[in-house]
Structures are given as C-alpha cells and as structure tokens.
Amino acid sequence: MSILRCGRFELDLSRPRVMAIINLTPDSFSGDGVGGEVSAALARAKAALEAGADILDLGAESTRPGAEPVPEAVEIARIVPVVRALADWRVPLSVDTMKPAVMRAALEAGADLINDVNGFRAPGAVQAVCDSDAALCVMHMQGEPRTMQIEPRYVDVVGEVAAFLDERVSALCAAGVARERIVLDPGFGFGKTLDHNLALLTHLDRLCAAGLPILVGVSRKSMLGAITGRPVGQRLGSSVAAALLAVQRGAHIVRVHDVADTVDALKVLAALQSTV
Ligand code: HH2
C-alpha cells in the first residue's frame, strides 16, 4: 500500500507527501490563481518545488462553492501547455478536472495523476483513464459545485462517504484499474457543513480502513474560516495545523497552497516520530 503507481513515477507513501496547488484559473477561492499565463504557472511550480512539494496539482476550473463551469476547450487550452512545459521537470504532475476530454488531453500531454473531485462519475470518465498508467484521486462530493453548499445532508456522513468511495473504487477496478493507482479523498467542503467536515477529519481512520492511500485538501478552506473567524488570506496557521492533524490521523498526501510552511510542520512531526 505504501507505493502509489503514478504515471512515470512510483511514489513512496511511507512518508507524507505534499501536493502543491497550482490554479490556472482567474477565480479560485484562495485568490492565488494565475489565469492562463504559462510563465506565471511555471514560476509558481518552481517556487513550489523549491519549497519541497512532491506533486504539482494543476487545475483550470474553480470548484469553489457557486463556481460556474468552464467550457472544455478553455480548460484544455489552460492545462495542456503547462503540462507540456513541466513534462521534463521530473516531478509527478496531477491534473484536477472532472471532464473526460480534459483527462484525455492531460494524459496525452504527460500527466501522471488525474484528480477528479467528481469521483470519475461523468459519462466516459472511467474509460478516459482506465487504460493509462496514471494515478487516480477519487474524491467524494455531494451535489455539484454551483449548489453543493446550499443544504448538504447526511444521516451518517462518514459511512456515506466511505460507501461512495468504495463504490467508485469497485467501478474503477471493474474497468481494469489496479488498486495501486488509486487514492481516496473525502472531499472537505464539497457538499459538507463544518460538522460534516469535522466528523470526516476526526474519523479519517474509517476511510483508511479501505487500505488505500488518503489525500486531504483543507488548505485555506472556509471550514477553517468558520473555526477561526479569519478571511481566506489569513488562514496559514489553521491550514498548517489542519494538514498536520490530517497526517497524524492517517492522510498520506496533503493538498496545500502554502507548501514551505506545511513541509516545515511535517519535518517537526517526522523528527518527533523518529525519536525513541
Ligand atoms: N479542493 C479543491 C479543488 N480540488 N481536489 C482534491 N482531491 N481535494 C480537494 O479537497 C480539492 C480538490 C478546492 O480548492 P482550490 O483548488 O484551492 O480552489 P478552486 O477550486 O476555487 O480553484
């Protein structure tokens, strides 16, 4: 379980990995999207790697609550040149998309991981990725970004998220995907209230029970604003704390905006763990 097959790479997950968020959007909630500028994306990628990122996650469609969908051709035009430009950087390249056509274009351009907040549910999504050697991040979302935060409801949020992920893993495996290519993500903030998010973080071990690696993305999210009362630009401390707590509860990969501070926090954790 500690090795993730990830395109050109085999990622050793016996230590926690940091996935840097590189948003090629004009409207991401965190305000750090670089739009369609390839040079700005490369500068962001370079800074993330220097800060210690293990994976770069490129996204060209905001999934913040209320976001409008981006046309497929626009998403491809933003993503493909950046994936091509980064292809010889020797770092796993993840592409964050819900659209099968974007998945195909990204894989052809050299992506190593497809990160689908929709859990590969779109018609054709499983077929777009099953024959590749890319890793697949399967995330849970209730509803869709435009409306998902209006009134999320669960009877047992942890059980329902676990059952959903289990069903998606079965669908992928039935299409021939090896389990060594799959990562699970409970989808913090995607059709969830603060209580739902806290329940998922508290009981992350129940998702770990599936035996697949877990990715957690809480960086700068509104759940941290709800806890601290701080706006999105002032959530560094809470983001680092939440990433660290997620790793302590079993997360293998944390998806973050603030790479250097997260890497430092994980070094402190590693130092404590290596002390007998
Ligand atoms: N969160 C966001 C986007 N993609 N992918 C995974 N696997 N897990 C997440 O929690 C996740 C994700 C939303 O954050 P961000 O990309 O920073 O914002 P936006 O969607 O507004 O670009």
Q: Which tens digits make up the pLDDT trace of 9-47?
A: 999 999 999 999 999 988 778 777 887 789 999 999 999
3-state secondary structure of 113: strand
Percent of the chain beyond pLDDT 70?
Answer: 99
CB 222 within 8 A of CB 152: no
In the predicted structure, residue 276 carries a pLDDT above the cut 70:
no
Alpha-carbon 272 to chain mean position: 27
| Atom number in ligand 1 closest to CA 218 | 10
Q: How many residues does the chain have?
A: 276
Angle between helices 72-86 and 100-109 (to 10 degrees): 20
Average pLDDT on 119-145 reads 96
According to DSSP, residue 144 is labeled -
What is the CA(28)–ligand 1 centre distance, in A? 9
In the predicted structure, residue 1 carries a pLDDT above the cut 70:
no
Q: What is the DSSP string of 208-254?
A: HTTSS-BEE--TT-HHHHHHH---GGG-HHHHHHHHHHHHHTT-SEE
Res 275: pLDDT: 84
User: How far apart (Å, rounded) are the C-alpha atoms in residues 94 and 121?
Assistant: 18
User: How far apart (Å, rounded) are the C-alpha atoms in residues 109 and 46?
Assistant: 19
| Atom number in ligand 1 closest to CA 221 | 14
CB atoms < 10 A from the CB of 265, how many?
19
Q: Is the CB of 29 under 6 A from ligand 1?
A: yes
Q: Is the CB of 30 under 6 A from ligand 1?
A: yes
- Domains in the chain: ranges and CATH: 17-274 (3.20.20.20)
Mutation to probe ligand 1, out of 17, 25, 58, 64 (largest number of atoms < 8 A from CB): 64
Average pLDDT on 191-209 reads 95
CB atoms < 10 A from the CB of 124, how many?
13
Res 29: pLDDT: 80
* Active site amino acids: 221, 255
What is the CA(276)–ligand 1 centre distance, in A? 37
User: How far apart (Å, rounded) are the C-alpha atoms in residues 71 and 10?
Assistant: 33
User: How far apart (Å, rounded) are the C-alpha atoms in residues 207 and 131?
Assistant: 26
Q: Is the CB of 115 under 6 A from ligand 1?
A: yes
Burial of 131 (0-12, 13-18, 19+ CB in 10 A): exposed
Res 35: pLDDT: 78
User: How far apart (Å, rounded) are the C-alpha atoms in residues 251 and 137?
Assistant: 13
Res 150: pLDDT: 80
